[in-house]
């Protein structure tokens, strides 16, 4: 293995283009990123975070085939941005479908084996002496260049998907990643596979890294952003939505997990087991707190009692409060057949199975519903749900946008704007979770224990332990100004691109803000008051299927209309209805902040267009 270690002299001898500093950069990979136990996108992200960059990776289906987008920045990133600067093509069929739509001048690096299949006009070879584009058709579109990924991977044909590890080596050189960091990550990921597999993977990676100067004609390095960020406790790690949910559950003491038979639910349960948890049968969840992974969408109306009823799928959990991780925005084949009481946001209101479960449990309250909007919040809200279930003896649903399951977020160590400290969902109970309890001395010499005992005594005297959860729900957090012309309201994974669009719009002098609901039951405190401070309210969502988007938007707007009535306002619901409209972005790629900007700039005229628009 030592014979194939990276040679530093080779790096000094490498020739190629000058490194271009970029503050924000995105590239995409058309095709699967898995190479026999290694995900090259996730490995690249982990190395980038270790080098001080923030990373956002989303796995999406483009025309029904796998692809991913990676965005790098020194500032925090929570969306894929508007476009990509470089595309790597690892899928022949995707290249055929997308070739004519690639942006003019965009660099497109294609595996030479794919080019041979597609017979596409490309540059003539390595950078030295290569023509920019050999064909008129290519000149009208992207700058297509070959990469010898398959020929290089043929040196080690026994490693499945070796061309992807060669691509990882070229990406490492292209973006100035430290090859030793990447090498250690590969060794760690494949350690359980044996020395032969590790050696083969490292040889393929190093082939790509050494050959990159001959074939890649551009290099990038992320430069520091101008605006100083704000601290985030979740900085410094790389995690996807599944990992965040599982890690939080295990950290909070959940000892058993049960899942419905949906593949996405099963994938979370499998990860739970891989990290030391116990996947229990529904009838035997164990003595401690339980975790149920469920889905909202289904294909057969007969299954909805099981999918939407929290106890129908896991009767063993019914004797104690449960945390129910409910996944929504599920991709599926064909149109969903929805019963009349279908609950698009999965909060259980009006669902006979949920009502029956509440009656059987005898707890007198429907499940609380928490809605994370980032991977960080998937971790934080799962922990919060476990605490609420135990403290209030009440089922808690963590409603997870399935897009977050396939999103990897990595925040470099340092300050970030999406701090969880100022986004507490509930009030006085958070005193018991505050850490550390500094500067408080107790009789026993343990300041933390003394402070916790004092806080518990205070809460006991105030009888807060007997108060319902609704007593402590915090007001909603508005991103941007507290009042203005337009308020964009959403949920789940739309938060990143919407808030990025708000920053752009406010820089242009537009009084636009954003609100992403973190609790659907109970609704945030003073929600009606918050909505009343804006002239126009636009509920936004994104989906591949317009019918599903319409169902969720109807549900979201119904929740917003209910806020004035819940606050006791006379005529508030009718006034809100006149200012409320909805819009769904229908696409099979990550939502672009630019598309949100275009939507807001198109809201002209004295009043809102109350017709829902689907694009």
Q: How confident is the model over 288-318, as pLDDT tens digits?
A: 456 788 766 543 434 434 433 443 334 444 4
Buried b / exposed e along 256-280 (16+ C-beta atoms within 10 A): bbbbbebebbeebbebbeeeebebb
Query: Mean of the pLDDT values across residues 37-46?
Result: 92
pLDDT tens-digit map of 167-193:
999 999 999 999 999 999 999 999 888
Query: Mean of the pLDDT values across residues 261-272?
Result: 86
DSSP state of 341: T
The pLDDT, as a whole number, for residue 420 is: 42
Alpha carbons 272 and 256: distance in angstroms, whole number: 9
CB 471 within 8 Å of CB 388: no
Count of positions (residues) in the chain: 615
Name the least confident of 109-113, 308-312, 321-325: 308-312
Residue linked to tokens 């009767």: 315
pLDDT tens-digit map of 567-599:
555 556 667 778 899 998 877 678 899 999 999
The pLDDT, as a whole number, for residue 395 is: 83
Q: Which two tokens stand for residue 341?
A: 């009481």
Helix, strand, coil percentages for the chain (3-state, nearest 5): 40, 20, 40
The pLDDT, as a whole number, for residue 163 is: 94
Q: Which residue has the higher pLDDT, 401 or 312?
A: 401
The pLDDT, as a whole number, for residue 229 is: 40
User: Cα angle at 412 between 409 and 414, to 5 degrees?
Assistant: 130
pLDDT tens-digit map of 126-175:
544 343 443 334 435 678 889 999 999 999 988 989 999 999 999 999 99
Instruction: Decide if pLDDT at 230 tops 50.
Output: no
DSSP state of 59: E
The pLDDT, as a whole number, for residue 4 is: 40
Average confidence score pLDDT of the chain: 75
HSE at residue 597, side-chain half, CA atoms within 13 A, is: 17
Alpha carbons 136 and 127: distance in angstroms, whole number: 19
Alpha carbons 364 and 394: distance in angstroms, whole number: 9
The pLDDT, as a whole number, for residue 536 is: 94
pLDDT tens-digit map of 458-501:
666 655 556 777 778 888 889 998 999 999 999 999 999 999 99
Q: What is the pTM of this model?
A: 0.79
Alpha carbons 217 and 175: distance in angstroms, whole number: 12
Residue linked to tokens 């739509």: 101
Instruction: Decide if pLDDT at 608 tops 70.
Output: no
Query: Mean of the pLDDT values across residues 65-82?
Result: 88
The pLDDT, as a whole number, for residue 221 is: 86
Instruction: Decide if pLDDT at 556 tops 60.
Output: yes
CB 604 within 8 Å of CB 581: no
Name the least confident of 73-82, 419-428, 488-497: 419-428
The pLDDT, as a whole number, for residue 373 is: 92
Instruction: Decide if pLDDT at 406 tops 80.
Output: yes
What's the pLDDT band for 544 if we cut at 50, 70, 90? low
- Closest C-alpha to 384, from 257, 233, 238, 518: 518
User: Under 8 Å CB-to-CB from 123, ≥6 apart: which residues?
Assistant: 130, 131, 132, 133, 134, 143, 144, 145, 146
The pLDDT, as a whole number, for residue 339 is: 44
Q: How many Å from the N-terminal Cα to the C-terminal Cα in the chain?
A: 53
């Amino acid at each position: 293995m030592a014979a194939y270690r990276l040679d530093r002299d080779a790096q000094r001898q490498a020739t190629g283009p000058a490194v271009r500093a970029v503050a924000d950069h995105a590239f995409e990979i058309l095709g699967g990123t898995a190479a026999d136990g290694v995900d090259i996108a996730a490995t690249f992200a982990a190395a980038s975070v270790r080098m001080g960059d923030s990373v956002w990776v989303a796995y999406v289906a483009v025309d029904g085939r796998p692809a991913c987008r990676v965005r790098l920045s020194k500032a925090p990133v929570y969306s894929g941005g508007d476009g990509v600067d470089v595309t790597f093509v690892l899928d022949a069929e995707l290249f055929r479908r997308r070739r004519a739509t690639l942006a003019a001048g965009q660099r497109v690096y294609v595996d030479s084996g794919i080019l041979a299949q597609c017979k596409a006009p490309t540059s003539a070879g390595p950078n030295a002496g290569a023509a920019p584009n050999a064909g008129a058709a290519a000149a009208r579109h992207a700058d297509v260049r070959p990469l010898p990924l398959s020929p290089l991977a043929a040196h080690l044909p026994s490693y499945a998907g070796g061309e992807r590890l060669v691509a990882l080596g070229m990406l490492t050189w292209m973006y100035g990643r430290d090859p030793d960091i990447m090498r250690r990550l590969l060794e760690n990921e494949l350690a359980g596979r044996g020395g032969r597999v590790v050696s083969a993977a490292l040889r393929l990676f190093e082939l790509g890294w050494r050959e990159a100067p001959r074939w890649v004609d551009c290099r990038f390095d992320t430069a520091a952003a101008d605006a100083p960020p704000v601290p985030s406790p979740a900085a410094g790690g790389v995690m996807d939505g599944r990992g965040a949910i599982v890690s939080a559950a295990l950290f909070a003491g959940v000892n058993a997990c049960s899942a419905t038979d949906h593949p996405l639910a099963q994938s979370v349960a499998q990860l739970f087991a891989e990290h030391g948890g116990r996947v229990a049968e529904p009838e035997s969840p164990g003595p401690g707190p339980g975790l149920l992974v469920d889905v909202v969408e289904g294909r057969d109306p007969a299954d909805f009692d099981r999918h939407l009823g929290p106890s129908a799928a896991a009767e063993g959990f019914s004797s104690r409060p449960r945390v129910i991780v409910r996944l929504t925005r599920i991709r599926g084949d064909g149109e969903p057949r929805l019963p009349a009481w279908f609950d698009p946001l999965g909060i259980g209101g009006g669902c006979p199975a949920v009502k029956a479960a509440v009656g059987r449990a005898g707890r007198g309250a429907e499940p609380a519903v928490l809605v994370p909007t980032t991977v960080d919040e998937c971790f934080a809200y799962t922990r919060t749900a476990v605490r609420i279930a135990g403290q209030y003896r009440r089922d808690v649903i963590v409603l997870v946008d399935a897009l977050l399951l396939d999103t990897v977020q990595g925040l470099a160590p340092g300050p970030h704007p999406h701090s969880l400290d100022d986004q507490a969902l509930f009030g006085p109970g958070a005193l018991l979770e505050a850490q550390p309890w500094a500067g408080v001395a107790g009789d026993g010499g343990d300041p933390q224990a003394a402070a916790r005992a004092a806080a518990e005594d205070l809460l006991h005297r105030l009888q807060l332990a007997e108060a319902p959860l609704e007593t402590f729900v915090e007001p909603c957090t508005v991103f941007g100004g507290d009042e203005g012309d337009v308020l964009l309201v959403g949920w789940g994974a739309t938060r990143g691109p919407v808030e990025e669009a708000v920053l752009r719009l406010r820089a242009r002098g537009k009084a636009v803000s954003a609100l992403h609901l973190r609790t659907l039951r109970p609704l945030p405190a003073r929600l009606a008051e918050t909505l009343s401070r804006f002239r126009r309210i636009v509920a936004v969502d994104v989906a591949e299927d317009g019918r599903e988007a319409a169902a969720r938007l109807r549900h979201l707007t119904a929740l917003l209309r209910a806020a004035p009535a819940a606050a006791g306002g006379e005529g508030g619901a009718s006034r809100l209805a006149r200012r409320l409209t909805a819009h769904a972005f229908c696409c099979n790629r990550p939502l672009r902040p630019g598309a949100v900007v275009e939507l807001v700039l198109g809201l002209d005229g004295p009043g809102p267009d109350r017709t829902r628009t689907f694009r």
